[in-house]
Amino acid sequence: MEASGQIKMDGKKESNLSKKQIFVALLVLALVAFLMVSPQLYKHGIILGNDMMFHFNRFYDAYMQIKTGHFNYFQSLFGFDQSGRIVNALYGPDFAYLQGLLMFITKNWFRYQLLTSFLCFFIAGLSMFSLARKAVVNYNFSIFIALLYMSSSMVSHYALSQNMTSWGAAFIPFVYIPAVRVIKNQKKPIKPIELALAVTSVGFLHNLTLLLAILSSIPFYIVGFFHAEHKGKMLKDFLLAVLLTVLLNINTLVGFIEVSLTNQLVYPKFFEDVLSYTTYFDIGDNNYSSLGMIFSCIMLFQIFYLFFNWKDASNLEKLLTSVGSFFLVLSTNFVPWEDIARYTDLVRIIQFPRRFVLVAFVFLLIGFAYSLEKITKRLNQDKKKIIASFLCIVTFLMIANVNLEILRSAEVWESDTPTSAGNNAPWVTAKDADALRKGFTDGKYEDAFKVIKKPTPDYLPLLNNTTQEELEEQGGYKMYDEQIIHNKLDVSKTIDNKNQLVLAWKSKENREDILPVIAYERSKIAFNGNNYSTGQVKKTALGAPVVQSKIGTNKFVIGYKPLVNMSVLWIIKFTVIGLLIVLFIIKVIRSFLAFGQK
């Protein structure tokens, strides 16, 4: 935060908050986050959302790697039925290990889900409040839009369906803090460390959200560059920020690039009726696709208000509303997404066009706060109190809506169909609802994967010239279920001292067997004492090795040899983190000494 009273481009002054104001804001955000997740607490129910089993598997794998000391950055040694498939290296590895650490604290899935849902809500509110204050939004309005953002479906869907986009939504406002600075501070538009840490905060958990954040930030940096007093210095600071960001995320970037370039990977499931997964305006509640009455009114009001008051708006207001409107339109069915899907794979990468609305939620809410300030500035105290009361009602209704949705989902837990809160029902292996519940509550994390075995084939290698379309026609879920999860071969799986998977089985005859493990282009394979390259081993379309078993005991060892030594990358990453911590400590000491001399 800049020094108190510094004049900005829009003529507003940025003032530091008092300790009391900061405490009150944090307390309000924490209380509201608790209020929204509280139904799950007193119902003591686990919400089995659509994405739960996929993410719980990868977090469990990270947890077990930490617990046992068997670290393998690429292969799943414990999660995903010990299949060795690569997931975390492609999908927020740092965040996965952080979640693994949280599992040591919570001890069971119920407490873990409750804690992480609370944290997702709270961090979303904190990041939005921080962005609003950086944009010099009025203190009370900053809290108001932070609470509204917390109650949006983009954030609440983690609690309801364990959607990882919600974690991206929780952190993405941090990325826009440097973008606001670029517009508001012509003398020093970029602080390299601030920008690097902001981008890293999203990059460590969700690649698609990071892509949206970067794309939506570009207009701010272009405008800021033209207004910067020292363009050369700004460019140097930007390049330094990029370098720091790369170093802080070097393991994520290298791992993702290596696996993606050396393998053709299975995309997440594509839905042909793509327009069903766009955003639409209506007068109902804010949910997965609907903006609902309140957010529809807020966003449309802000767009039209800026249109009619364009000349009086600052550059920042114009950028926030214009860019937010653009991404809002992208998220709707006003864009012919089904036609676009015929000519490009962009839609498969995005999967749900609705994801674009995340940028609109952030930018249009900030813009709306600016408009509220202008409107209320001309009102007398009585009218201001009416506006304040109305805003409190709006906020309460949105918070109550999330509370109700979580209550309904939590109540399902004690019903005869505990999976009805999500789409896991087809993959339940438990004999009844009580056995299913026991799998998640008896204190052993791994028991959950015995009662629900969801065969999600995302990010598996796609081999034998099989296309994505052919895989979907043949049933990728079914193929993965048969080859890996319910493979009929009686195989024992262990982990050797090199952190590789070891499969052993006995055969009464010489025959061809499909092994319940996944091989990639850089996999290291040893079968019955002989070493093989992955190209020398026959594999199914999803990468399961097909071997010729011999009579007696058979042993198959599979590891992964990356192009770049990951230990070197970790050393680089933690060295940079250490240096940043040292710089922070030095800054704190200098500030303390300077304060003592006054």
| Full DSSP string of 516-584 | SS---TTEEEEETTEEEEGGGSEE-TTS-EEEEE-SEEEEEEEEE--SS-HHHHHHHHHHHHHHHHHHH
State yes or no: pLDDT of 6 exceeds 80: no
Mean pLDDT of the region 474-487: 92
pLDDT for the residue numbered 347: 73
pLDDT for the residue numbered 597: 61
pLDDT for the residue numbered 153: 93
Mean pLDDT of the region 480-502: 95
Joined together, the tokens standing for residue 322 give 């214009």
> Given the structure tokens 């770049």, which residue do they identify?
564
Q: Which residue has the higher pLDDT, 89 or 378?
A: 89
Classify residue 161 as exposed, middle or buried by CB count within 10 Å of its CB (0-12, 13-18, 19+): buried
Radius of gyration of the chain (CA): 26
Q: Which residues, in sequence order, are bridge partners of residue 495?
A: 501
Give the strand pairing for 530-533 and 552-560: unpaired
Q: Which residue has the higher pLDDT, 395 or 16?
A: 395
| Phi-psi domain of 414 (left: phi exceeds 0; alpha: psi -120 through 50; beta: other) | alpha
- Percentage above 90 pLDDT, the chain: 78
What does the pLDDT look like over 13-50, one tens digit per residue?
Answer: 666 788 899 999 999 999 999 999 999 999 999 999 99
What does the pLDDT look like over 212-255, one tens digit per residue?
Answer: 999 999 999 999 999 999 999 999 999 999 999 999 999 999 99
Distance of alpha carbon 67 from alpha carbon 281, whole angstroms? 47
> Do 531 and 511 meet the contact criterion of CB atoms below 8 Å apart?
no
What does the pLDDT look like over 557-594, one tens digit per residue?
Answer: 999 999 999 999 999 999 999 999 999 899 888 877 76
Joined together, the tokens standing for residue 421 give 């809160």
Phi, psi of 113 (to 5 degrees): -65, -40
pLDDT band at 598 (very low <50, low <70, confident <90, very high): low
Residue type, 259: V
What does the pLDDT look like over 217-227, one tens digit per residue?
Answer: 999 999 999 99
Give the CB-side neighbour count of residue 221, counting CA atoms within 13 A.
Answer: 18
pLDDT for the residue numbered 112: 96
How far is CA 379 from its chain centroid?
41
User: Beta-carbon neighbour count of residue 380 at 10 Å?
Assistant: 7
How far is residue 165 from each of residues 4, 191, 299, 354, measured CA to CA in Å?
A: 35, 27, 21, 11
Mean pLDDT of the region 198-204: 92
pLDDT for the residue numbered 282: 87
Instruction: Spell out the domains of the chain, with CATH numbers in brackets.
Output: 415-451 (no CATH), 460-561 (2.60.40)
Q: Mapping DSSP to helix (H, G, I), strand (E, B) and coil, where does residue 332 land?
A: strand
Q: Mapping DSSP to helix (H, G, I), strand (E, B) and coil, where does residue 132 land?
A: helix
- Percentage above 70 pLDDT, the chain: 96
pLDDT for the residue numbered 7: 34
Phi, psi of 3 (to 5 degrees): -60, 145
What does the pLDDT look like over 515-531, one tens digit per residue?
Answer: 999 999 999 999 999 99
Helix-helix angle 292-308:139-150, to 10 degrees: 140
State yes or no: pLDDT of 8 exceeds 80: no
pLDDT for the residue numbered 208: 87
Joined together, the tokens standing for residue 496 give 């050797």
Q: Mapping DSSP to helix (H, G, I), strand (E, B) and coil, where does residue 495 land?
A: strand
State yes or no: pLDDT of 200 exceeds 50: yes
> Given the structure tokens 């599992």, which residue do they identify?
103
> Do 542 and 476 meet the contact criterion of CB atoms below 8 Å apart?
yes
Residues 6+ apart with CB under 8 A from 333: 275, 278, 280
pLDDT band at 286 (very low <50, low <70, confident <90, very high): confident
pLDDT for the residue numbered 1: 35
> Do 129 and 142 meet the contact criterion of CB atoms below 8 Å apart?
yes
pLDDT for the residue numbered 408: 94
Phi, psi of 378 (to 5 degrees): -90, 0
pLDDT for the residue numbered 350: 76
Distance of alpha carbon 429 from alpha carbon 345, whole angstroms? 35
What does the pLDDT look like over 130-181, one tens digit per residue?
Answer: 999 999 999 999 999 999 999 999 999 999 999 899 999 999 999 999 999 9
Closest listed residue to residue 566, CA positions, set 221, 42, 5, 86:
86
Which range has the worst mean pLDDT, 2-11, 58-67, 343-352? 2-11
How far is CA 79 from its chain centroid?
19
Distance of alpha carbon 180 from alpha carbon 135, whole angstroms? 6
Joined together, the tokens standing for residue 170 give 């929780």
Distance of alpha carbon 103 from alpha carbon 83, whole angstroms? 22
Average predicted confidence (pLDDT) for the chain: 91
pLDDT band at 89 (very low <50, low <70, confident <90, very high): very high
| pTM score, whole prediction | 0.93
What does the pLDDT look like over 536-560, one tens digit per residue?
Answer: 999 999 999 999 999 999 999 999 9
Distance of alpha carbon 298 from alpha carbon 402, whole angstroms? 18
Which range has the worst mean pLDDT, 4-13, 396-405, 452-461? 4-13
Mean pLDDT of the region 327-333: 93
User: Beta-carbon neighbour count of residue 520 at 10 Å?
Assistant: 23
Mean pLDDT of the region 490-500: 95
Residue type, 203: G
Mean pLDDT of the region 1-7: 36
